[in-house]
Protein backbone atom coordinates (compact mmCIF):
# COMPACT_ATOMS: atom_id res chain seq x y z
CA UNK A 1 0.00 0.00 0.00
CA UNK A 2 1.11 3.54 -0.72
CA UNK A 3 2.56 5.37 2.28
CA UNK A 4 0.27 7.99 3.80
CA UNK A 5 1.82 11.27 4.93
CA UNK A 6 -0.37 13.55 7.01
CA UNK A 7 0.48 17.17 7.77
CA UNK A 8 -0.83 18.00 11.27
CA UNK A 9 -1.45 21.53 12.59
CA UNK A 10 -2.00 22.40 16.26
CA UNK A 11 -2.64 25.92 17.60
CA UNK A 12 -5.27 25.37 20.30
CA UNK A 13 -3.37 27.07 23.11
CA UNK A 14 0.14 28.53 23.25
CA UNK A 15 2.14 26.20 21.00
CA UNK A 16 2.33 26.76 17.25
CA UNK A 17 3.10 23.29 15.97
CA UNK A 18 3.16 21.57 12.57
CA UNK A 19 4.30 18.00 11.91
CA UNK A 20 4.42 15.29 9.27
CA UNK A 21 3.53 11.74 10.31
CA UNK A 22 3.87 8.67 8.09
CA UNK A 23 1.21 5.95 8.30
CA UNK A 24 -0.13 7.25 11.61
CA UNK A 25 2.90 6.28 13.65
CA UNK A 26 6.20 7.55 12.29
CA UNK A 27 7.26 11.10 13.15
CA UNK A 28 8.94 12.35 9.99
CA UNK A 29 9.37 15.95 11.16
CA UNK A 30 7.92 18.06 13.97
CA UNK A 31 8.17 21.76 14.72
CA UNK A 32 6.89 23.24 17.98
CA UNK A 33 7.20 26.95 18.64
CA UNK A 34 6.24 27.58 22.24
CA UNK A 35 4.96 30.97 23.40
CA UNK A 36 5.64 30.03 27.02
CA UNK A 37 8.19 32.79 27.63
CA UNK A 38 5.78 35.43 26.33
CA UNK A 39 2.88 34.31 28.57
CA UNK A 40 5.08 33.63 31.62
CA UNK A 41 5.34 37.40 32.12
CA UNK A 42 1.57 37.52 32.72
CA UNK A 43 1.41 34.36 34.86
CA UNK A 44 -0.79 32.53 32.32
CA UNK A 45 -1.86 32.42 28.67
CA UNK A 46 -3.28 35.73 27.36
CA UNK A 47 -5.70 34.67 24.57
CA UNK A 48 -5.35 37.78 22.40
CA UNK A 49 -1.54 37.59 22.47
CA UNK A 50 -1.68 33.85 21.79
CA UNK A 51 -3.73 34.17 18.59
CA UNK A 52 -1.67 37.09 17.32
CA UNK A 53 1.57 35.22 17.94
CA UNK A 54 0.23 32.11 16.14
CA UNK A 55 -0.67 34.30 13.14
CA UNK A 56 2.79 35.87 13.09
CA UNK A 57 4.64 32.56 13.31
CA UNK A 58 2.65 29.87 11.54
CA UNK A 59 4.12 30.31 8.04
CA UNK A 60 7.63 30.39 9.51
CA UNK A 61 6.93 27.15 11.36
CA UNK A 62 5.75 25.53 8.10
CA UNK A 63 8.87 26.70 6.20
CA UNK A 64 11.11 25.44 8.98
CA UNK A 65 9.33 22.07 8.99
CA UNK A 66 9.84 21.52 5.27
CA UNK A 67 13.50 22.52 5.58
CA UNK A 68 13.92 19.41 7.77
CA UNK A 69 12.68 16.89 5.18
CA UNK A 70 12.98 16.07 1.49
CA UNK A 71 9.19 15.76 1.33
CA UNK A 72 7.13 18.58 -0.16
CA UNK A 73 3.52 19.68 0.19
CA UNK A 74 2.76 17.64 -2.94
CA UNK A 75 3.69 14.46 -1.02
CA UNK A 76 1.11 15.09 1.69
CA UNK A 77 -1.98 12.86 1.59
CA UNK A 78 -4.09 15.15 3.79
CA UNK A 79 -4.04 18.18 6.08
CA UNK A 80 -5.19 17.57 9.67
CA UNK A 81 -6.00 20.32 12.13
CA UNK A 82 -7.13 20.75 15.73
CA UNK A 83 -10.57 22.36 15.45
CA UNK A 84 -11.62 21.98 19.14
CA UNK A 85 -11.44 22.58 22.08
CA UNK A 86 -9.18 25.48 23.06
CA UNK A 87 -8.86 29.23 22.74
CA UNK A 88 -11.16 30.27 19.90
CA UNK A 89 -8.85 32.86 18.34
CA UNK A 90 -5.90 30.47 18.48
CA UNK A 91 -7.88 27.57 17.00
CA UNK A 92 -9.07 29.81 14.15
CA UNK A 93 -5.52 30.69 13.11
CA UNK A 94 -4.62 27.01 12.66
CA UNK A 95 -7.95 26.15 11.07
CA UNK A 96 -7.85 28.93 8.46
CA UNK A 97 -4.24 28.06 7.68
CA UNK A 98 -5.14 24.38 7.24
CA UNK A 99 -8.09 25.24 4.97
CA UNK A 100 -5.89 27.48 2.84
CA UNK A 101 -3.27 24.74 2.40
CA UNK A 102 -5.96 22.16 1.63
CA UNK A 103 -7.51 24.44 -0.98
CA UNK A 104 -4.28 25.55 -2.65
CA UNK A 105 -2.70 22.07 -2.76
CA UNK A 106 -5.99 20.22 -3.32
CA UNK A 107 -5.67 17.97 -0.28
CA UNK A 108 -8.43 16.55 1.90
CA UNK A 109 -8.98 18.28 5.25
CA UNK A 110 -9.30 16.23 8.46
CA UNK A 111 -10.67 17.68 11.71
CA UNK A 112 -9.14 16.41 14.94
CA UNK A 113 -10.33 16.93 18.51
CA UNK A 114 -7.41 18.05 20.68
CA UNK A 115 -7.99 15.30 23.27
CA UNK A 116 -8.13 12.65 20.55
CA UNK A 117 -4.70 13.97 19.59
CA UNK A 118 -3.39 13.42 23.13
CA UNK A 119 -4.75 9.86 23.09
CA UNK A 120 -3.28 9.04 19.67
CA UNK A 121 0.15 10.30 20.78
CA UNK A 122 0.37 6.76 22.12
CA UNK A 123 0.31 5.37 18.57
CA UNK A 124 3.65 7.09 17.98
CA UNK A 125 5.16 4.49 20.35
CA UNK A 126 3.07 1.41 19.75
CA UNK A 127 -0.24 0.90 18.01
CA UNK A 128 -3.14 0.99 20.46
CA UNK A 129 -5.28 -2.11 20.72
CA UNK A 130 -8.87 -1.99 21.90
CA UNK A 131 -10.69 -1.98 24.27
CA UNK A 132 -8.53 0.52 26.08
CA UNK A 133 -9.02 2.82 29.06
CA UNK A 134 -7.59 6.34 28.71
CA UNK A 135 -6.89 8.77 31.53
CA UNK A 136 -6.70 12.29 30.07
CA UNK A 137 -4.96 14.83 32.25
CA UNK A 138 -4.23 18.30 30.91
CA UNK A 139 -4.63 21.98 31.68
CA UNK A 140 -8.28 21.87 30.66
CA UNK A 141 -9.36 18.25 31.17
CA UNK A 142 -9.41 15.37 33.63
CA UNK A 143 -11.32 12.46 32.13
CA UNK A 144 -11.54 8.69 32.09
CA UNK A 145 -12.51 7.44 28.65
CA UNK A 146 -13.25 3.94 27.38
CA UNK A 147 -12.44 3.25 23.72
CA UNK A 148 -13.70 0.08 22.07
CA UNK A 149 -12.48 1.07 18.62
CA UNK A 150 -10.72 3.90 16.80
CA UNK A 151 -12.26 7.31 17.58
CA UNK A 152 -15.09 5.89 19.68
CA UNK A 153 -15.13 7.59 23.06
CA UNK A 154 -17.25 6.66 26.05
CA UNK A 155 -16.59 9.22 28.80
CA UNK A 156 -16.81 7.30 32.11
CA UNK A 157 -15.99 10.23 34.34
CA UNK A 158 -14.75 13.80 34.17
CA UNK A 159 -13.92 16.67 36.45
CA UNK A 160 -16.90 18.49 37.90
CA UNK A 161 -14.86 21.66 38.38
CA UNK A 162 -11.11 22.24 37.89
CA UNK A 163 -8.79 20.14 35.74
CA UNK A 164 -5.80 18.65 37.50
CA UNK A 165 -3.29 20.59 35.35
CA UNK A 166 -5.14 23.80 36.07
CA UNK A 167 -4.75 23.15 39.81
CA UNK A 168 -1.01 22.43 39.39
CA UNK A 169 -0.78 25.85 37.70
CA UNK A 170 -2.88 27.55 40.40
CA UNK A 171 -0.90 26.05 43.30
CA UNK A 172 2.31 27.15 41.57
CA UNK A 173 0.92 30.66 41.35
CA UNK A 174 0.08 30.91 45.06
CA UNK A 175 3.59 29.60 45.81
CA UNK A 176 5.03 32.30 43.50
CA UNK A 177 6.50 29.73 41.10
CA UNK A 178 6.58 30.68 37.39
CA UNK A 179 4.11 29.58 34.69
CA UNK A 180 3.56 26.81 33.65
CA UNK A 181 3.21 25.52 37.16
CA UNK A 182 3.11 21.76 36.59
CA UNK A 183 6.81 21.13 35.91
CA UNK A 184 7.83 23.58 38.67
CA UNK A 185 5.59 21.97 41.29
CA UNK A 186 7.05 18.61 40.29
CA UNK A 187 10.61 19.94 40.79
CA UNK A 188 9.81 21.44 44.19
CA UNK A 189 7.99 18.30 45.30
CA UNK A 190 11.07 16.17 44.64
CA UNK A 191 12.87 17.53 47.71
CA UNK A 192 9.77 17.94 49.88
CA UNK A 193 7.95 15.87 52.49
CA UNK A 194 4.26 15.02 52.46
CA UNK A 195 3.51 16.70 55.79
CA UNK A 196 0.84 19.32 55.12
CA UNK A 197 -2.58 17.77 55.88
CA UNK A 198 -4.85 18.41 52.87
CA UNK A 199 -8.42 17.30 52.12
CA UNK A 200 -8.86 14.17 49.97
CA UNK A 201 -11.28 14.92 47.10
CA UNK A 202 -14.56 13.02 46.43
CA UNK A 203 -14.36 10.00 48.68
CA UNK A 204 -16.97 8.06 46.75
CA UNK A 205 -17.21 5.42 44.03
CA UNK A 206 -18.08 7.78 41.18
CA UNK A 207 -15.60 8.10 38.32
CA UNK A 208 -15.94 11.87 38.30
CA UNK A 209 -13.24 14.09 39.73
CA UNK A 210 -13.30 17.25 41.81
CA UNK A 211 -10.22 19.33 42.47
CA UNK A 212 -11.72 22.66 43.56
CA UNK A 213 -11.80 21.72 47.27
CA UNK A 214 -8.12 20.80 47.23
CA UNK A 215 -7.30 24.00 45.37
CA UNK A 216 -9.24 26.19 47.82
CA UNK A 217 -7.70 24.41 50.82
CA UNK A 218 -4.21 25.25 49.54
CA UNK A 219 -5.08 28.87 48.75
CA UNK A 220 -6.57 29.27 52.26
CA UNK A 221 -3.64 27.56 53.93
CA UNK A 222 -1.10 29.83 52.22
CA UNK A 223 -3.20 32.90 53.02
CA UNK A 224 -3.56 32.04 56.72
CA UNK A 225 0.10 31.17 57.16
CA UNK A 226 1.04 34.50 55.55
CA UNK A 227 -1.38 36.35 57.86
CA UNK A 228 0.28 34.71 60.86
CA UNK A 229 3.71 35.65 59.49
CA UNK A 230 4.67 31.97 59.10
CA UNK A 231 6.85 30.88 56.20
CA UNK A 232 5.51 28.25 53.82
CA UNK A 233 7.78 25.34 53.06
CA UNK A 234 7.22 25.33 49.27
CA UNK A 235 8.85 21.95 48.78
CA UNK A 236 6.67 20.31 51.41
CA UNK A 237 3.45 21.94 50.20
CA UNK A 238 4.23 21.05 46.55
CA UNK A 239 4.89 17.47 47.64
CA UNK A 240 1.75 17.21 49.83
CA UNK A 241 -0.41 18.63 47.02
CA UNK A 242 1.08 16.32 44.39
CA UNK A 243 0.54 13.22 46.53
CA UNK A 244 -3.16 14.02 47.06
CA UNK A 245 -3.74 15.07 43.43
CA UNK A 246 -2.04 12.02 41.92
CA UNK A 247 -3.48 9.56 44.47
CA UNK A 248 -6.92 10.69 43.36
CA UNK A 249 -6.07 10.00 39.70
CA UNK A 250 -4.78 6.56 40.69
CA UNK A 251 -7.81 5.76 42.87
CA UNK A 252 -10.32 6.66 40.14
CA UNK A 253 -8.34 4.88 37.44
CA UNK A 254 -8.27 1.74 39.62
CA UNK A 255 -12.06 1.94 40.05
CA UNK A 256 -12.44 2.25 36.26
CA UNK A 257 -10.14 -0.74 35.70
CA UNK A 258 -12.27 -2.83 38.07
CA UNK A 259 -15.53 -1.68 36.47
CA UNK A 260 -14.52 -2.10 32.85
CA UNK A 261 -12.13 -5.06 33.29
CA UNK A 262 -10.01 -3.71 30.45
CA UNK A 263 -6.46 -4.96 30.15
CA UNK A 264 -4.92 -1.88 28.55
CA UNK A 265 -4.45 1.59 29.96
CA UNK A 266 -3.10 4.79 28.46
CA UNK A 267 -2.38 8.10 30.13
CA UNK A 268 -2.31 11.24 27.99
CA UNK A 269 -2.22 15.04 28.17
CA UNK A 270 0.28 17.53 29.59
CA UNK A 271 0.19 16.21 33.17
CA UNK A 272 1.25 12.75 31.92
CA UNK A 273 4.77 14.28 31.69
CA UNK A 274 4.82 14.12 35.52
CA UNK A 275 7.27 11.49 36.76
CA UNK A 276 5.45 10.85 40.02
CA UNK A 277 2.20 10.17 38.11
CA UNK A 278 4.08 7.96 35.63
CA UNK A 279 5.64 5.87 38.40
CA UNK A 280 2.37 5.52 40.36
CA UNK A 281 0.57 4.48 37.15
CA UNK A 282 3.27 1.90 36.44
CA UNK A 283 2.67 0.41 39.93
CA UNK A 284 -1.08 0.36 39.38
CA UNK A 285 -0.66 -1.35 36.00
CA UNK A 286 1.61 -4.01 37.42
CA UNK A 287 -0.74 -4.60 40.39
CA UNK A 288 -3.61 -5.33 37.95
CA UNK A 289 -1.35 -6.91 35.31
CA UNK A 290 -2.47 -4.55 32.60
CA UNK A 291 -0.52 -3.06 29.74
CA UNK A 292 0.35 0.61 30.31
CA UNK A 293 1.28 3.13 27.64
CA UNK A 294 2.26 6.75 28.27
CA UNK A 295 3.72 8.90 25.48
CA UNK A 296 7.41 9.81 25.65
CA UNK A 297 7.91 13.21 27.24
CA UNK A 298 8.06 15.24 24.01
CA UNK A 299 4.60 14.02 22.95
CA UNK A 300 2.93 14.59 26.36
CA UNK A 301 2.45 18.34 26.05
CA UNK A 302 0.84 20.01 23.03
CA UNK A 303 2.27 19.11 19.62
CA UNK A 304 1.04 18.59 16.05
CA UNK A 305 2.57 15.12 15.74
CA UNK A 306 -0.27 13.69 17.84
CA UNK A 307 -2.83 15.52 15.67
CA UNK A 308 -1.45 13.93 12.49
CA UNK A 309 -1.33 10.53 14.24
CA UNK A 310 -4.99 10.86 15.30
CA UNK A 311 -5.98 11.84 11.76
CA UNK A 312 -4.63 8.63 10.20
CA UNK A 313 -7.55 6.30 11.12
CA UNK A 314 -9.94 9.07 9.98
CA UNK A 315 -8.07 9.24 6.67
CA UNK A 316 -8.46 5.48 6.21
CA UNK A 317 -12.20 5.82 6.89
CA UNK A 318 -12.48 8.70 4.38
CA UNK A 319 -13.75 10.89 7.21
CA UNK A 320 -12.99 14.31 5.69
CA UNK A 321 -14.21 17.76 6.66
CA UNK A 322 -15.50 20.38 4.27
CA UNK A 323 -14.59 24.05 4.17
CA UNK A 324 -17.54 25.05 6.34
CA UNK A 325 -15.67 23.53 9.31
CA UNK A 326 -15.60 25.94 12.25
CA UNK A 327 -13.53 26.07 15.43
CA UNK A 328 -15.27 25.12 18.68
CA UNK A 329 -13.81 26.36 21.94
CA UNK A 330 -15.69 24.01 24.27
CA UNK A 331 -16.55 20.89 22.27
CA UNK A 332 -16.40 17.67 24.30
CA UNK A 333 -14.75 14.48 23.12
CA UNK A 334 -17.45 12.31 21.52
O1 LIG B 1 -1.87 19.08 27.28
P2 LIG B 1 -1.27 20.37 27.65
O3 LIG B 1 0.11 20.72 27.11
O4 LIG B 1 -2.22 21.55 27.27
C5 LIG B 1 -3.61 21.40 27.39
O6 LIG B 1 -4.21 20.77 26.50
O7 LIG B 1 -4.12 21.86 28.46
O8 LIG B 1 -1.25 20.41 29.25
C9 LIG B 1 -0.77 21.53 29.94
C10 LIG B 1 -0.90 21.24 31.42
C11 LIG B 1 -0.54 22.47 32.28
O12 LIG B 1 -1.53 22.61 33.27
C13 LIG B 1 0.81 22.09 32.85
O14 LIG B 1 1.07 22.70 34.10
C15 LIG B 1 0.67 20.58 32.98
O16 LIG B 1 0.00 20.19 31.80
N17 LIG B 1 1.97 19.92 33.06
C18 LIG B 1 2.38 19.23 34.14
C19 LIG B 1 3.70 18.80 33.86
N20 LIG B 1 4.03 19.22 32.60
C21 LIG B 1 2.96 19.91 32.12
N22 LIG B 1 1.77 18.96 35.31
C23 LIG B 1 2.44 18.26 36.22
N24 LIG B 1 3.72 17.82 36.04
C25 LIG B 1 4.39 18.07 34.88
N26 LIG B 1 5.62 17.64 34.71
ZN1 LIG C 1 -3.23 19.55 25.32
Same domain, 162 and 242: yes
Instruction: Answer whether 270 contacts ligand 1 (Cβ < 6 A).
Output: yes
Q: How far is the CA of 306 from the centre of ligand 2 (A)?
A: 10
Please count the structural domains in the chain: 2
Domain that holds residue 154: 130-294
Same domain, 248 and 227: yes
Q: What is the residue-level pLDDT of the chain in tens, covering all 334 positions?
A: 899 999 999 999 999 999 999 999 999 999 999 999 999 889 889 999 999 999 999 999 999 999 999 999 999 999 999 999 999 999 999 999 999 999 999 999 999 999 999 999 999 999 999 999 999 999 999 999 999 999 999 999 999 999 999 999 999 999 999 888 999 999 999 999 999 999 998 778 999 999 999 999 999 999 999 999 999 999 999 999 999 999 999 999 999 999 999 999 999 999 999 999 999 999 999 999 999 999 999 999 999 999 999 999 999 999 999 999 999 999 999 8
In angstroms, rounded to a whole number, what is the distance separating the alpha carbons of residues 213 and 269? Answer: 22
Mutation probe of ligand 1 site: the residue of 171, 294, 301, 305 with most atoms within 8 A of C-beta: 301
Same domain, 148 and 108: no
Same domain, 288 and 310: no
Mutation probe of ligand 1 site: the residue of 136, 270, 294, 329 with most atoms within 8 A of C-beta: 270
Q: How far is the CA of 225 from the centre of ligand 1 (A)?
A: 28
Please report which ligand is nearest the Cα atom of 276.
1
Same domain, 176 and 285: yes
Same domain, 185 and 82: no
Same domain, 104 and 197: no
The number of angstroms, rounded, from the C-alpha of 223 to the middle of its chain's C-alpha atoms is 31
Same domain, 11 and 100: yes
CATH code at 202? 3.30.420.40
In angstroms, rounded to a whole number, what is the distance separating the alpha carbons of residues 39 and 27? Answer: 28
Instruction: Answer whether 86 contacts ligand 1 (Cβ < 6 A).
Output: no
Provide the whole-model pTM. 0.96
Instruction: Answer whether 302 contacts ligand 1 (Cβ < 6 A).
Output: yes
Same domain, 175 and 52: no
Instruction: Answer whether 183 contacts ligand 1 (Cβ < 6 A).
Output: yes
What is the position in ligand 1's atom list of the atom closest to the CA of 12? 6
Same domain, 142 and 264: yes
Amino acid sequence: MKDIYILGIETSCDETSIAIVKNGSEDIATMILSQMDIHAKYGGVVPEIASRTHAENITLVLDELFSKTILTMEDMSAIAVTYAPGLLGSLLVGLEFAKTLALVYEKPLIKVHHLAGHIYANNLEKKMEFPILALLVSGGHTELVLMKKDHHYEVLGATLDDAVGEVYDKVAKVLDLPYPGGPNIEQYAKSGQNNYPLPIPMQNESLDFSYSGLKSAIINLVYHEKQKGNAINKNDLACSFQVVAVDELIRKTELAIKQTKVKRLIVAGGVSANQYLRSQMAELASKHQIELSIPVMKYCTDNATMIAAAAYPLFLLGNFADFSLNAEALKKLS
